[in-house]
Structures are given as C-alpha cells and as structure tokens.
C-alpha cells in the first residue's frame, strides 16, 4: 500500500509521508521555462502533455511520496462556462456570473471541456512509480463561489451580502456546484488519481455563525461522496482556527491539513481519529538552515506517535530555493 494511503486510511504511524502543496510549479526553474513559453495559464492547464510533465518535475528532483496534478481549482468554473483569466500581479478574474447559464450545464459538456485534465492524470499515472500517490484536487464550494460571483474585496474581506440576500439562489448554486465537483472528482479517480484534496482556501473569511452552512455542510457532502467511491480525501479549511475541531466532528475526512496559524500541539491533542497534514509556515523555508530544521523537527516530534503527512500550512512560495526543499525532504525521510 502507498505510504500516503496507509497513513490516511489505516492511520499508520511508522513513517512520515511527504509532499507539498504547489510542489509542481513556480519555484522550479524548469517550470518557469515552460511557463515563459505558455503565457495563457488556462491553456497550459489544458495541455495534457505539458501538465503531466510539470506534475512530474518535482518527482524527478526529490524523494517525495506523491505527485499532485498540475491544474487549478478554477478549472471547474471554466468547465461550467465562465471565462477565467489570470492577471499578473492581481490574480484570477472571472467573467460575470450568470445563474441561467450556470444551471444549463450538463455532465457530458463539462467532462468534455475538462478532458485534457483527466488525460494529464492518465499520462502521469503511467509514468509515476507504483508506490507513489497521485493526488487530484478541487476547490470547496464556498471558495469557488467567492471567485465565481466576484465576492472578494481584498485578502481579508468579502461582500457576503451579495449572496446572503439571495438565499434561494445560494442553496441552488451550492447544490449544483457540489454536483459538478463530485463529477470532477470521480473523473479524476477514473483517470488514475488515488487521493483527493479539497481546498477551502477562503474558509477563514466565513463568519462563525455561517460556518455550518457555507463550510461544514458543503465539504461534508463531498467527503461522503469520496468515501462512497472509495477515494481517500484530505480537507483544508484554511484559516478557521480552533473551529478545525468542529469541522472535523462535522465533516469527518480521512485527512485534515492544518494551516500555519494552528498550534501543532493543540492540533495533536484536539483533532482525533484523523490523519493530520501540514502546518509549517512556507516562509520558514527562507530562514537559515538551523532555524528551518528546528521548525521541521518541531512538527516531526509533535506528531511522532500520530498519523501525520509532512506538508506545509499553505503552498510553496515562488521564492523557495529547491536545494533547501531537498534538504527538508531528506530531513523528514531520515527522521527516527
């Protein structure tokens, strides 16, 4: 059994599997070379040969236990008919949300539009060694709605009234989006993925009294679906602090990625019957080697008797030095 699967399903504590969010991408010179020749990000994600090549770049460099497919959470809105552009220095920009068009989508058209993503998974699985996991992913409904409906005002604020004033539409959109996220997950499983991570990147912007309706319930439906089709699932409700416990009790995923604002000791003592993942601040990798290793060891020692996958509390940053990352991976793999 693959190390990550064993940790997620059997709660194995004999070793620390290791992989990183955004391990395929912008910090690697070989990726930057491809990206410079492919300025349209969506088209790059839809190029199955290049997507597969990019996915395997970190596997060719480092002793990692998983590849994560090179794609983006906004491929789902793209598959549902919204135009998606990535503007340098500003991030993603989506065309205006149209409820009628959104509801008129169908499974076949959606799958056909995202078929290059599934082809990239097939190609990657053929080239990836059998003992390594191939992780697929999707955004959670709440996080996708923020992008699809243009609710984000800045990194810390959203215009919640734009959706709260339309409760009927909100429920309709959440249910329909959930349906297509499950289709996307199932398609990725059939293509060769063996694990899925659900990114709720903007969960921390949800008021506490709304967490159940916007975060717990939508994530729970996806987790139930993943368990039904036999796909191990990791959730990442970034930024919800000690509400991680309530999330875990409600959603019950196989794995739970903690962010860098969560105290690892608190997580170990309060988040039970789950494989924990991540936690370390990606910016630590910019420090000197002694400080980096102290932080790495802190997480490894904290979770040495618990099921734990070494990762970060967010994705790798573009300024990360690949040589530093290699040393961290070797540190994790040699930990006794």
Split at pLDDT 50, 70, 90, the class of 171 is confident
Split at pLDDT 50, 70, 90, the class of 166 is low
pLDDT for position 153: 63
Tell me what the mean pLDDT of segment 12-24 comes to: 97
pLDDT for position 150: 85
> Which stretches within the chain are classed as H helix?
3-10, 29-36, 41-45, 48-61, 75-79, 99-103, 107-113, 115-127, 141-148, 161-164, 167-191, 211, 217-228, 244-251, 264-270, 289-302, 322-333
147 included as an active-site residue: yes
Is 262 in contact with 240 (CB distance < 8 Å)?
Answer: no
Residue 128's nearest CA partner among 186, 195, 53, 229 is: 53
Gap between the Cα atoms of 82 and 76, Å rounded: 9
pLDDT for position 164: 65
Instruction: Give the total number of structural domains in the chain.
Output: 1
pLDDT for position 168: 60
DSSP state of 46: T
**Given 12, 35, 260, 331, the catalytic residue:** 35
Residue 85 pairs in a beta bridge with: 93
35 included as an active-site residue: yes
Q: Sign of torsion, CA 137 219 305 10?
A: negative
pLDDT for position 129: 96
What's the whole-number average pLDDT of the chain?
Answer: 95
> Does 138 score more than 70 pLDDT?
yes
> Does 165 score more than 80 pLDDT?
no
For the stretch 71-98, pLDDT in tens is 999 999 999 999 999 887 778 999 999 9
**Given 65, 72, 200, 254, the catalytic residue:** 72
pLDDT for position 158: 74
22 included as an active-site residue: yes
Gap between the Cα atoms of 54 and 225, Å rounded: 29
User: At 285, which CATH number?
Assistant: 3.20.20.210
Residue 54's nearest CA partner among 69, 37, 43, 36 is: 69
With pLDDT > 70 as the criterion, what percentage of the chain qualifies?
96
Structural domain of residue 273, as residue ranges? 3-333
For the stretch 34-65, pLDDT in tens is 999 999 999 999 999 999 999 999 999 999 99
The structure tokens listed for 114 are 């995202």
Residue 131 makes CB contacts below 8 A (sequence gap 6+) with 2, 3
Poorest-confidence range of 5-19, 35-49, 76-90, 249-263? Answer: 76-90
pLDDT for position 151: 83
Tell me what the mean pLDDT of segment 291-312 comes to: 98
180 included as an active-site residue: no
> Does 167 score more than 70 pLDDT?
no
pLDDT for position 170: 81
Element (H, E) at 257: strand 255-258
Residue 219 makes CB contacts below 8 A (sequence gap 6+) with 140, 198, 200, 235, 237, 247, 251, 253
**Given 27, 78, 147, 180, the catalytic residue:** 147
**Given 22, 65, 259, 299, the catalytic residue:** 22
pLDDT for position 309: 98
72 included as an active-site residue: yes
């Amino acid at each position: 059994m693959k190390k990550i699967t064993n940790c997620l399903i059997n709660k194995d504590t004999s070793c620390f599997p290791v992989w990183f969010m955004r391990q395929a991408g912008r910090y690697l010179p070989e990726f930057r070379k491809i990206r410079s020749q492919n300025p349209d990000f969506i088209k790059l994600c839809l190029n199955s040969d290049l997507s597969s090549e990019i996915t395997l770049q970190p596997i060719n460099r480092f002793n990692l236990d998983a590849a994560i497919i090179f794609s983006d959470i906004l491929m789902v809105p793209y598959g549902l008919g919204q135009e998606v552009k990535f503007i340098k220095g500003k991030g993603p920009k989506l065309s205006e949300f149209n409820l009628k068009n959104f509801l008129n989508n169908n499974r076949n058209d959606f799958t056909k539009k995202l078929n290059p993503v599934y082809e990239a998974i097939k190609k990657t699985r053929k080239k990836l060694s059998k003992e390594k996991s191939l992780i697929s992913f999707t955004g959670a409904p709440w996080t996708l709605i923020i992008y699809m409906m243009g609710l984000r005002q800045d990194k810390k604020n959203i215009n919640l009234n734009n959706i709260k004033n339309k409760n009927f539409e909100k429920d309709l959109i959440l249910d329909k989006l959930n349906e297509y996220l499950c289709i996307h997950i199932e398609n990725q499983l059939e293509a060769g993925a063996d694990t899925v991570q659900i990114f709720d990147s903007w969960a921390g912007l949800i008021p506490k009294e709304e967490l159940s309706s916007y975060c717990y319930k939508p994530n729970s439906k996806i987790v139930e679906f993943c368990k039904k089709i036999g796909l191990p699932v990791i959730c990442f409700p970034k930024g919800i602090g000690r509400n991680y416990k309530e999330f875990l009790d409600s959603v019950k995923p196989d794995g739970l990625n903690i962010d860098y604002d969560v105290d690892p000791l608190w997580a170990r003592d309060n988040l039970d019957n789950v494989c924990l993942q991540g936690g370390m601040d990606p910016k630590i990798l910019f420090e000197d080697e002694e400080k980096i290793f102290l932080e790495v060891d802190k997480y490894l020692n904290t979770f040495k008797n618990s099921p734990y996958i070494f990762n970060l509390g967010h994705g790798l940053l573009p300024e990360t030095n690949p040589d530093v990352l290699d040393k961290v991976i070797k540190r994790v793999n040699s930990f006794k």
